[in-house]
Amino acid sequence: MAEIHGLAAQVTLVLVIIVAGWAVTLGLIRRPLPPLLLGGLGWALLLLAGTSLLGVMVALTDAPPADPLHIVYGLLAVAVLPGAWAIARMRDDPRRTVVVLAIASLVLLILVFRSFQTGG
């Protein structure tokens, strides 16, 4: 089960790198939010949630992570995109929506990297 959790985390990392790079690029060139980016963010959130559920199962059946911060990073990672969307959807300018989501994607990327460092 731990191997599946690790593999899901790696797939999530790759998707988050792609989506974060895409969002930052769109934010820098001041483009509005394309539906495909929103879909990519949705897939990233689904992968994060699935990886988190696998992590909970691993912690309950095998052993908890060596560093408790791993759990904190996982919870924050799952909360970043919904929180950013709650903020971004209220923006009048669609280009600012992309900027908010780009910043959230970078924060998410940092959290995912840190979860690898604390995963033990």
Distance (Å, whole) CA 51 – CA 67? 17
Mean pLDDT of the residues in the chain: 92
Question: pTM of the entire structure?
Answer: 0.90
Distance (Å, whole) CA 2 – CA 9? 10
Please, is 69 exposed, middle or buried when counting C-beta atoms within 10 Å of its C-beta (0-12, 13-18, 19+)? middle
Q: Residue 48 has what pLDDT?
A: 94
Q: Residue 69 has what pLDDT?
A: 93
Domain coverage including residue 89: 2-118
Per the structure, how many domains does the chain have? 1
Q: Residue 66 has what pLDDT?
A: 86
pLDDT in tens, 89-106: 887 888 888 999 999 999
pLDDT in tens, 45-83: 999 999 999 999 999 998 888 899 999 999 999 999 999
